[in-house]
Chain A
Amino acid sequence: MAKKMHITLTVNGKEEEFLAEPRELLIYTLRERLNYTGAHIGCETSHCGACTVTIDGKSVKACTMFVAQADGADITTIEGIGGPDNLHPLQTAFKEHHGLQCGYCTPGMITRAAKLLEENPNPTEEEIRFGMAGNICRCTGYQNIVKSIQAAAVEMNAPKEAAE
């Protein structure tokens, strides 16, 4: 067993401090050590995106990052995107437009889409499809996921447009 490292992380605004083996994958840190079970594990090879979280402003697949590499990072998971009292427009749109079925890919999908819309508030369908290509869904065929993201973009842009 390797020597444990002292790790500090900020997850969903809360500072976390603990000792961990450097080989511990970040997804297990989040799910098993810190109990943020929203992000899931689908492949452990960076292909499916079920484990997508935001790290220091970038979408990252937490299944292929060691916790040691994340030391000092600021992390947002689906639990930090929105909850019962402050739903993110994407969370509402995915329900409204049937953008999910089994729900397993959904946390990663929404976390990634939130980042995409932050970077590009008015994406075309093609930009959405390209920007979401790192997140696999086995149930929906993506059509309603694209629709959900488009609807959320409209919703998120509405207050801005009203203010202008």
Chain B
Amino acid sequence: MKDDVTSRDDRVANLKGMGCSRKRVEDARFTQGKGNYVDDIKLDGMLFGDFVRSPYAHARITSVNTAPALDVPGVLAVLTAKDLEPLGLHWMPTLAGDKQMVLADGKVLFQGQEVAFVVAEDRYAAADGIDAVEVEYEELPVIVNPFEALQSDTVLREDLVAEDGSLPDGAHGPRKHANHIFTWEAGDKGPTEEVIANADIVAEETMYYHRTHPCPLETCGCVASMDKVNGKLTLYGTFQAPHAIRTVVSLISGIEEHNIRVISPDIGGGFGNKVGAYPGYVCSVVASIVTGKPVKWIEDRMDNLMTTAFARDYHMTGKISATPDGKITGLQCHVTADHGGFDACADPTKFPAGFMNICTGSYDIPTAYLAVDGVYTNKAPGGVSYRCSFRVTEAVYFIERMIEVLAIKLDMDAAELRRINFIKKEQFPYTAALGWEYDSGDYHTAWDKALKAVDYDGLRAEQAQRVADFKAGKTRTLMGIGLSFFTEIVGAGPVKNCDILGLGMFDSCEIRIHPTGSAIARLGTISQGQGHATTFAQILASEIGLPADSITIEEGDTDTAPYGLGTYGSRSTPVAGAATAMAGRKIRAKAQMIAAYLLEVHDDDVEFDVDRFAVKGAPERFKTMKDIAFAAYNQAIPGIEPGLEAVSYYDPPNMTYPFGAYVCVMDIDVDTGVTDIRRFYALDDCGTRINPMIIEGQVHGGLTEALAVALGQEIAYDEMGNVKTGTLMDFFLPTAWEVPNYETDFTVTPSPHHPIGAKGVGESPHVGGVPCFSNAVQDAFRPFGNTHTNMPHDHWRIWKTANDLGLHG
């Protein structure tokens, strides 16, 4: 081992540590069809459960007759609310402090709501059983508009009204109406109103951020297996937070937590859809306990789009004030948030509107006020963060639209308006008017780099020519230049203010080094495609000096992984990545003592160098981490325990604040409304970059989901509460044909408080992408008097915008 012939650069390269585009270790099994997703799980005697669902959006249930279903061959049991009631499981707590029916308890509140659970020998028998269950409904008035809900005499949630008709407080304080859930405020109301009332320039806008859905390619599902002999419940499922699911299952079922093993196997995309707890999980567990056999439940696509975890549905009004030369002085935002029939939003407990109070964006706005009113309607519950930290996409869309509207009011270039209002590099750490402390940023550098890369001035000149040509009748195509500059707030979060159901949002990593110098590390997070097994090994390789290829990363089995809050809100790298680095440093600290002993020098006289500890000033005297691992297990070292292991639970001191600058160039056919994305440039600053290849892949994917949301994807309801977009025929998922090639770029502003300076990136492109695509559409019509039109900008809506502006002659 002393024969050190390789260069330092070779030794660094050999580690495949941070900063290199290491190929993914996950890919071998996925490319060969050997992934193990929940629907691939097959257990002896496994049964299949599925739901009878309500065709009505609001109705009383007068009777449920399960007897005919029990006569269907292969059907073993049918569960209704009456069966769950003695167990106290007919309702369950939601993540937002509300409660939700597991199975319809006397009434239904949205189309597709779970009414009965049929358990059968296979999925075909279950389907036959569902057909045979007889349910009688008495229709009630349907409310799908939250503003109507707040005026209506129709009470959606009778369970939340006291017998004397009064309204007990909800989980987030007083309620103004039977269909009102909460009012949540941030900032200073009085001063903000005063600033805006006295301002020279005020721009106002009303916008609707439509309801949509994360729609991962794999739907939600689980397999519950109750081992009655040993009293152990194993629950496999598509869980983005397996430990939290274990705790929730324990709390609501009464099974002790050590007797519950939750396993998230390979997950086919999550994007927020798989954070919550759904009736299917509860019913599968109960059915397994009742039948003594494993029970599988898998959503079909309609179930998925109609019932589990919608996103957005924010009606937003804003006022933004400025001086005549464009310096922003104040911002006011009100949101009417449509939460559906139950408040099942997945947010940290103290944040019923998530981090919507990041809506001052990347700008130095001295005064601001935000109020959010949550409202019940006859729509599905959910309110998850679809590829963003909690409600950040809504916040960034809001401010990036308000900036554009203000630019129109000021008759100013929107890029310049952004530039003069950015928080300056020297202002960080910066405390925003709505309370957050931004950790670091260099917005001007990123913005200048982006505008230069796309030749912004050249684009504006081309656009002006296009407008002239259009007016002269030489073309029927307009050109839009979409801008967005976003600041994300991710890595929830500091336990002092972030918890879910009382569980602090720290995360964890446990490392065990094997005697021959390889290792296994387990984390409290769970990959859904982000490539954790690849990137976390890279962090460790750099921290402990063993090659990433010699480090196995394991997640998702609560019997073996340390407790953590899971993967969503771009929290894996900021929180679990930090835990990984810190656990690695504990390993290194012990390794230093071992190395010093082996080299017969004082602990302080050795220093870490890539993959070894060497004597200071005598680099030829060293012990590699491999040597040290072997010694840790095989040599009696006075005062040092055998073994080389560490665990770290990391409670982040602050959130991290990735940011980015995006530009979209779009051609729009005025007569058909068809859009053609000619160019998309995305500059992301996610702090220290762990794996550039994976970052680029995340950006491509996030932008494509942004394209979908901005240009066509929605969960739409008719007045009867029927879901109009319940299949992939109607719910827009872009194909290779619609999606452009993206140009990616970056700057690096490390997070000052994160052990490796990383900030998280997976959701940034979605957060920044949605306003960028939308702004491109709006910008194309700006010369003709457009200030704002609502998303999704599908062909019909764009055609209508053109028509309303009189562009069709």
| A binding-site residues for B, Cβ under 8 Å | 1, 21, 23-24, 28, 31-32, 35-45, 47-48, 50, 77-79, 81-84, 87, 90-91, 94-96, 98, 100-107, 110, 128-130, 132-146
Contact = CB atoms under 8 A, between A and B. Distances in A.
16 contacts: A28-B123, A31-B39, A35-B42, A40-B37, A43-B727, A44-B300, A45-B301, A94-B31, A98-B697, A102-B269, A103-B27, A103-B268, A104-B218, A104-B268, A134-B735, A137-B217
Contact of A32 (B42, B266, B694): B42
B728 A48 contact: yes
Contacts of B727: 43, 45, 47
Contact of B31 (A40, A95, A102, A137): A95
Nearest to B29: A103
Contact of A104 (B23, B269, B301): B269
Contacts of A100: 27, 30-31
A142 B734 CA distance: 10
Contact of A138 (B23, B33, B215, B697): B215
Interface residues of B, number: 57
Given A21-B124, A144-B697, A102 B736 contact: no
Contacts of B531: 101
Contact of A103 (B30, B705, B729): B30
Contacts of A102: 216-218, 266-269, 528-529
A164 to B, nearest CB: 30
Given A103-B268, A138-B269, A140-B701, 13 more contacts: A31-B40, A42-B301, A48-B217, A79-B32, A87-B32, A103-B29, A104-B37, A104-B268, A104-B269, A138-B701, A140-B704, A141-B742, A142-B735
Contacts of B528: 102
Given A91-B32, A103-B26, A132 B215 contact: no
A140 B700 contact: yes
Contacts of B271: 138
B736 A39 contact: no
Given A91-B31, A141-B701, A1 B218 contact: no
Contacts of A140: 697, 700-701, 704
A29 to B, nearest CB: 12
A38 B217 contact: no
Contacts of A36: 33
A142 B736 contact: yes
Query: Which residue among B30, B74, B528 has the maximum number of chain A CB atoms within 10 Å of its CB?
Result: B30
A128 B739 CA distance: 13
B30 A41 contact: no
A77 B30 CA distance: 13
A83 B739 CA distance: 31
Contact of B124 (A23, A47, A144): A23
B601 to A, nearest CB: 44
B474 interface: no
Contact of A83 (B32, B74, B530, B704): B32
A31 to B, nearest CB: 8
B700 A143 contact: yes
Contact of B694 (A98, A135, A142): A98
- Main SS of the interface on chain B? loop
Contacts of A84: 28, 32
| Contact residues of A: prevailing secondary structure | loop
A141 B704 contact: yes
Most chain A CB atoms below 10 A, which of B42, B701, B703: B701
A88 B24 CA distance: 17
Contact of B529 (A91, A94, A139): A139
B291 interface: no
Contacts of A77: 33
B741 interface: yes
Contacts of B530: 101
B266 to A, nearest CB: 7
B335 to A, nearest CB: 27
Given A40-B268, A42-B218, A94-B27, A103 B736 contact: no
B737 A138 contact: no
Given A43-B301, A98-B24, A136 B700 contact: no
B696 interface: yes
Nearest to A111: B33
Interface string B109-125: 00000000000000110
B733 interface: yes
B703 A43 contact: no
B2 interface: no
A129 B703 CA distance: 17
9 A-B pairs with least C-beta separation: A38-B33, A103-B30, A102-B529, A104-B268, A141-B700, A78-B33, A141-B704, A101-B529, A47-B728
A114 B331 CA distance: 54
B653 interface: no
Kindly name the residue among B26, B27, B35, B39 whose own CB sees the greatest number of chain A CB atoms within 10 A.
B27
A95 B37 contact: no
Nearest to B123: A28
Contacts of B27: 94-95, 100, 103
Interface in B57-97: 73-74
B693 interface: yes
Contacts of B268: 40, 102-104
A38 B32 contact: yes
B301 A132 contact: no
B760 to A, nearest CB: 16
B33 A79 contact: yes
Interface in B15-66: 23-24, 26-35, 37, 39-40, 42
A101 B729 contact: no
Contacts of A40: 37, 39, 217-218, 268
Given A37-B40, A138-B271, A133 B696 contact: no
A21 B739 CA distance: 41
B73 A1 contact: yes
Interface in B378-415: none
Nearest to B744: A143
Most buried by A among B33, B74, B530, B733: B33
B697 A145 contact: no
Given A21-B124, A102-B528, A144-B700, A138 B34 contact: no
Interface in B731-760: 733, 735-737, 739, 741-742
